[in-house]
Amino acid sequence: MIKEYTFDTSEYSIERSNKTIYGELYRPLTDKEKLPIIIICHGYNSCCEGVRYEAELLAKRGIASYCFDFCGGGLKTKSSGTPVEMTIRTEQNDLEEVIKEISALPFVDKENICLFGMSQGGFVSALTAPDHKEMIKALFLVFPAFCIPDDWAERSRNNKSELIEFNGMCISRRFVDELPEYDVFEKAAEFDKKVFIFHGDSDPVVKVSYSEKLVKSYKNATLTVFPGQQHWFTGEYSEQMMDTICNYIKENG
């Protein structure tokens, strides 16, 4: 039987460079001085609220987590900034600030810090991790949106507007202009530690073929494809994913 822990939840915002990154810290109540922690990155037009299930489940299993709102990353975010200021690069900057701050917390096991990213948050996590691999132990990527460069190359041919309405949120031309010009698969592959990728074979937003290509790019990665799942996972598959993540942390802590 899996032991469940009670946990504390607290707001924990980061002040950096005249901006506030709003976040929530989930800390299991254990007698351990140091705890593993997973930094959770939400997807496009989402926020902390969208990943609380994962954060709470991790805490119940004895793993601390920190979820945060990307600046301008969604209409409900509590961080500074607006969606028209958001780009992949600004989200990478946010994540770098979070990694620096969270790794310095006294209860955090600095040898056991991982990143968890969903969709655009997975894309951002994968591009950021290589430059911080001395601090990041493993990556958990959930339907990571490696389609972004291809999708926007196609959209931008037909849309030259300064403001762009996309998936319920208005972003700026800057998002397109600042997309990575390098090979994102090659960049991601610079992270040579353990990577877990989870994807649904019926995902209409990010085709599973992107993750099939991504897993081949990495030196040490596994891809789990869930049948019939789209751009979100239903109960049993979500639990299976979280079991995989928790077991890895426990076995390699």
Domain 7-148+181-251 is found in CATH 3.40.50.300: no
Crossing angle of helices 235-251/52-60, nearest 10°? 50
pLDDT at 148 over 70: yes
What was the pLDDT predicted at 36?
A: 97
- CA distances (Å), 26 to each of 12, 21, 52, 153, 245, in order? 10, 16, 9, 38, 16
pLDDT > 70: percent of the chain: 98
User: Considering the entire predicted model, what is its pTM?
Assistant: 0.96
pLDDT at 78 (0 to 100) = 97
Q: How confident is the model at residue 2 (pLDDT cuts 50, 70, 90)?
A: low
Average pLDDT over residues 130-138: 97
> pLDDT tens-digit profile of 153-211?
877 766 678 899 998 999 999 999 999 999 999 999 999 999 999 999 999 999 999 99
> What is the structure's pLDDT at 1?
52
Whether 227 shows a pLDDT value over 90: the answer reads yes
Domain layout of the chain by residue ranges: 7-148+181-251
Instruction: Please give the pLDDT value at position 53.
Output: 93
Residue whose token pair is 């997807």 = 43
What would the mean pLDDT of 129-157 be, rounded to a whole number?
93
Identify which of 237, 96, 87, 253 has the alpha carbon closest to the alpha carbon of residue 176.
87
The residue among 137, 140, 180 whose CA lies nearest residue 54 is 140
pLDDT at 113 > cutoff 60:
yes
Least confident stretch, 2-11, 126-135, 198-207:
2-11
Mean pLDDT computed over every residue of the chain: 95
Is the pLDDT reported for residue 58 higher than 60?
yes
